[in-house]
Amino acid sequence: MPSPGECLARILDEGRYCASRTLGEAGAAELHLHAMERFVALEPTIPPFRGSMNRALFSYGPPVLALYQALMHDLGVDREPALGLAEEMLQAFVRKQLTRRPLLNAAMRVVFRLKPARSLLMRSLRKEEPDGFRFEEASDPGALWAFDVRECALVRFARRHGAPEIVPMICRVDDLVAKELHGLELRRTGTLGTGAERCDFRYVDVRK
């Protein structure tokens, strides 16, 4: 998984056509400059996670916030259009990443269907550290794999910076990734980022 700084650079690159279409070429160039400046200012506030899982799950938070701040505060874009463009750019980046890693996608499908592999992954998710994510395994006979997120580092980070509204777009990245798990479906009733008391991840085998 790329670092937050690398993520921002790639989001700006892969989402450049979205920015150019909305802001014009000059506006897209200005966005690139200001988003990088915003990220440099945010970087000292990124939690120093020890675990690779926490680092990976958190990696979209700072770049999305920097992009959103640049759109609103430097380019004067209103809140809803700024959220919409930031999400367009994020999804363009994620889709490109998914097309570049077919072997990893295939490996994920295998991992999700093998109980020992799921157990190993769950153990890595349950490793707690300050300001990190907190996972709990859940019981759901209708799901191949079920767990809840009870605490979210992205929510804390976004609230600390006065922009909790950016989190739902990052939650929706899970839905994009899940579409690559052919034969599996992610079902959720809510997320911490949208105000629910938990993120209830339920991966269901939908093969016929």
| pLDDT tens track for 56-102 | 999 999 999 999 999 999 999 999 999 999 999 999 999 998 887 76
Question: Are residues 110 and 181 part of one domain?
Answer: yes
Question: Are residues 137 and 42 part of one domain?
Answer: no
For the chain, count helices (H), then strands (E).
Answer: 10, 4
Question: Are residues 167 and 89 part of one domain?
Answer: no
Tell which of 74, 99, 124 closes a domain. 99
The token duo for 53 is 């899982």
Tell which of 57, 77, 99 closes a domain. 99
Question: Are residues 186 and 121 part of one domain?
Answer: yes
- Per the structure, the complete domain to which residue 179 belongs is given by 102-205
Question: Are residues 116 and 160 part of one domain?
Answer: yes
Q: Where are the beta strands (DSSP E) in 94-180?
A: 134-137, 145-151
Question: Are residues 19 and 42 part of one domain?
Answer: yes
Judging by beta carbons within 10 Å of its beta carbon (0-12, 13-18, 19+), is residue 66 exposed, middle or buried?
A: buried
Length of the chain: 208
Label residue 104 by pLDDT band (50, 70, 90): low
Question: Are residues 173 and 193 part of one domain?
Answer: yes
User: What is the count of structural domains for the chain?
Assistant: 2
Stated pTM of the model: 0.91
